[in-house]
């Protein structure tokens, strides 16, 4: 078995000694051995656990949520790694799109011309966007969709970008956790925040009860997996996980 001092582990993982001390204090990463001189020594098991911690931190999970996930008896390292891989690939795809958009913006600014709408919303092909819009109107009514679009236009570009980014981050977290208990605290925190953002985006124009609307949204995800993609492909597994988590959230709330 390998033993790593705090300094050696710090160099290997690219984190500060102070961070490792903090993880120890929080119970997130305990050393396998403490010498008589009170030096911390870490083994291969701790090295793997630190890898998990850093993966979750890369996805912006709070430390308390990471602790809850890693201490869950149902935690499976292989499943977690597969989830991390999917989430990181999705994140890389989003970053590549953003970099491409920035490059186009820089070229546009240098040429002193205005951006086109298509450039601002790159990543959603026009034909697909129009098809989704027509389908939504057929499913929920033209007036409902036009009203929703009117609400969305009331947000500034910066506000909309921030909300979309937060929703994307929440979805990434849920993707990573979809093999865990949907009623767990970390999952429910994501669902609660997602509920608030959806209400914010609706502008309070939901005619039915808010929780009933959220319940129907969960049913929609299961019926149409395009709304819950993983690696760009519809995922029934993620849809069912999100519906279970949303149902539990609804059961614990009061209208």
Domain covering 4-58 assigned CATH 1.10.1660.10 in the classification: yes
The predicted-structure confidence for 154-203, as pLDDT tens digits, reads as follows 666 677 778 888 888 898 899 989 889 999 999 999 999 999 888 887 76
Start-end ranges of CATH 1.10.1660.10 in the chain? 4-58
What's the pLDDT at 36?
Answer: 81
pLDDT at 225 over 90: no
Q: What is the 8-class DSSP label of residue 178?
A: T
pLDDT exceeds 50 at position 111: yes
Please state whether 204 falls in left (phi above 0), alpha (psi between -120 and 50) or beta.
left
What is the model's pLDDT at position 1? 60
Q: What is the pTM of this model?
A: 0.56
pLDDT band at 30 (very low <50, low <70, confident <90, very high): very high
Give pLDDT, residue 61.
84
| Band of pLDDT at residue 120, cut at 50, 70 and 90 | very low
Range from 93-107, 115-129, 144-158, 213-227 carrying the lowest mean pLDDT: 115-129
pLDDT of 243 above 90: yes
pLDDT value at residue 100: 67
Mean model confidence pLDDT for the chain: 79
* For residues 216-236, average pLDDT: 82
pLDDT for the residue numbered 101: 61
Q: Quick one: average pLDDT of 97-121?
A: 52
Residue 106 has pLDDT above 70, yes or no: no
- Burial annotation 140-172 (CB, 10 A radius, 16+ → b, else e): eeeeebeebeeeeeebeeeeeeebeeeeebbbb
């Amino acid at each position: 078995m390998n033993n790593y001092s705090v300094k050696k582990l710090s160099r290997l993982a690219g984190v500060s000694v102070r961070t490792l001390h903090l993880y120890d204090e929080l119970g997130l990463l305990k050393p396998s051995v403490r010498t008589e001189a009170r030096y911390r020594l870490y083994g291969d098991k701790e090295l793997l656990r630190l890898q998990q911690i850093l993966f979750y931190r890369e996805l912006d999970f709070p430390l308390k949520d990471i602790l809850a996930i890693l201490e869950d008896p149902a935690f499976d390292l292989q499943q977690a790694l597969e989830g991390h891989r999917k989430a990181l690939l999705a994140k890389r795809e989003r970053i590549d799109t953003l970099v491409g958009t920035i490059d186009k913006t820089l070229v546009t600014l240098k040429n002193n011309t205005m951006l086109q709408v298509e450039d601002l919303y790159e990543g959603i092909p026009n034909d697909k966007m129009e098809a989704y819009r027509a389908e939504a109107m057929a499913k929920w009514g033209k007036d409902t969709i036009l009203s929703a679009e009117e609400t969305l236009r009331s947000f500034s570009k910066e506000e909309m970008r921030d909300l979309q980014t937060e929703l994307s981050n929440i979805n990434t977290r849920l993707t990573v956790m979809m093999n865990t208990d949907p009623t767990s605290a970390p999952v429910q925190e994501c669902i609660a925040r997602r509920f608030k953002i959806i209400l914010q985006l609706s502008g309070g124009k939901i005619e039915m009860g808010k929780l009933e609307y959220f319940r129907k949204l969960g049913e929609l995800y299961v019926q149409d997996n395009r709304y819950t993609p993983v690696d760009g492909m519809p995922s029934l597994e993620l849809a069912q996980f999100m519906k279970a988590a949303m149902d539990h959230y609804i059961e614990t709330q009061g209208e």
